[in-house]
Chain A
Amino acid sequence: MKCHHCDNQATVHLTQILNGQMHKMDLCETCAQAKGVTNPENLSISNLMDKVEMEVDTANTSMVCESCGTTHQEFKKGGRLGCEACYHVFRPVLDPLLDGMHAGIKHLGKVPAGSESRIHFEQSMGSLKKKLQEAVEKEDFEKAAELRDQLRDLQNESKATV
């Protein structure tokens, strides 16, 4: 079988289903590399992205993740996100993509119980500490004492569950 782009022997055979239609392409190693087909998942994403782009406001092209620096352009090109915060930043362009990519858009699998409760604990501690600081600054000592007790209870609770 010959390569779709040159006369070399085709060694990479790509089959993709996009919008219910099958697309087939036979490429040689060199052309496959040049086209970035080494990872078909990438290709399907960029194809999907082209479709999504038309539907999404062009203002999105200036989106950038402040946490890791990944730009919308980079995501479009490589199909990879840079960090967990990217999932919030790129959510508007991500949602239509996920819809076409997966069986649903809501996680129905395993829940990491430990991570969830530890994160919840950290967040609750953080917010209580902040409130305590504010109360102290306002010299509202009654409120501060109450918050200090809540903090202590939360800490004891977490120790008891470990």
Chain B
Amino acid sequence: MFHKILSKESGGKKQPKAIPVTLSTRIRLARNLRQFPFPGRAEVAQKRAVLSKCIDAMSGIKGLNNSISVEVDDLSELDRQILVEQHLISPELSQVEEGSGIVLTQDRSCCIMINEEDHLRIQVLRPGLDFSSVWKHADEVDSGIESAINYAYDGELGFLTACPTNLGTGMRASVMMHLPGLVMSKNMDKVINAVNQLGIAVRGLFGEGSDANGSIFQISNQQTLGESESAIIDRLNSTLESLVRQENFARDKLLQDDRTRLIDKMSRAIGSLKTCHLIQSAEAMDLLSLVRLATDFGMMPDKFRGLADRMFIEVQPGHVQLSAGEAIEPNQRDELRAELLRNQFLRAPLLDLSSHS
């Protein structure tokens, strides 16, 4: 059952169309139950009690219709890896031993981690840039759970969390951004520095400490206390708008100053995707990033943007093994990944340069 949800191609309902620069929007709320130690300090029996209390509280909640719950111990190594690659659970939760769980909606728009660092991590994700609907969904699920459970809350400090960096709203709002222009023009360090000053964090694709393969970055609020949720989202949004402007500016400048080199890179990327026989995930991510860029320039049909986004996930090691139906060696994975990409890009056209000549 769980396996079936994970291997579904897209999240059930019709997905919004992929847009340039912004890949997806996410909100995560950290919550703890009153009168139970936080997971890091809890005995297995206490974690089990929290787990069953939370799962009971979630039944029948609006916003969690059609969801299933599982214990992390019951999942195979591969299922856990796939959940991490789909950004549904954290690498930390995939490593826990006992008493942790996951509640996931069929359309994968909402995934709740139970007994990760906090008792509850309510996460809502959506493609594109859409904080208002993502917040509405997360808020609805949070209020639904709260109607049946007493949260650890302090009038002055807000929602109490295991790590004081999450205190207050317990909210981490983030977007996944595709910033090849800023990376290629070597401006990313400057940008990271500037947004850090604004209390905004920049991380790699898989969160803390991970590499920014495919020029994909996670941009999120660093501060959670002293501002309302809407103020945090507004501040993040205005930073994002300026990032999108800077990225577009960098892209235009690259096309102007170093046109042939850039076109050569994008063109060869399509060639490599059509003809590769062995490819590692990092290289695949970089090629896909160039395809997405070419699509944004209008040099590839629009549908390739969505395809690139889908492939960003499907070229990850766990997903390649899921398609193989078994755990396989890295070498074999590279072969299978190449086959997948060759098939997907079989009919990809050459770059259309008519509007850029």
Contacts and interface: CB of A to CB of B under 8 A. Distances in A.
Interface string B48-67: 00000000000000000000
A159 interface: no
A1 B145 CA distance: 47
Contact of A103 (B146, B158, B171, B199): B199
A94 B167 CA distance: 11
A46 interface: no
Contact of A41 (B142, B151, B152, B165): B165
B226 A80 contact: no
Contacts, number: 143
Contacts of B117: 80
Size bracket of the A interface: 35 or more
Nearest to A42: B163
B218 interface: no
A20 B196 CA distance: 10
Nearest to A74: B41
Nearest to A87: B160
Contact of B225 (A40, A102, A116): A102
A80 B40 contact: yes
Contacts of A47: none
B169 A45 contact: no
B41 A107 contact: no
Given A40-B209, A84-B160, A110-B229, A102 B38 contact: no
B211 interface: yes
A22 B143 CA distance: 39
Interface stretch (A10-18, A126-134, A147-155): A10-18
B155 to A, nearest CB: 7
A17 B199 CA distance: 9
Given A104-B226, A108-B228, 9 more contacts: A39-B208, A39-B209, A69-B41, A79-B164, A83-B36, A107-B154, A109-B229, A112-B153, A119-B34
Interface of B: 32, 34-38, 40-41, 117, 139, 142-143, 146-147, 149-160, 162-165, 167-169, 171, 189, 192-193, 196-197, 199, 202, 208-209, 211, 223-229, 231
Interface of A: 11-12, 14-15, 17, 20, 22, 32, 37-41, 44-45, 67-70, 78-84, 87, 94, 97-98, 101-112, 114-116, 118-119
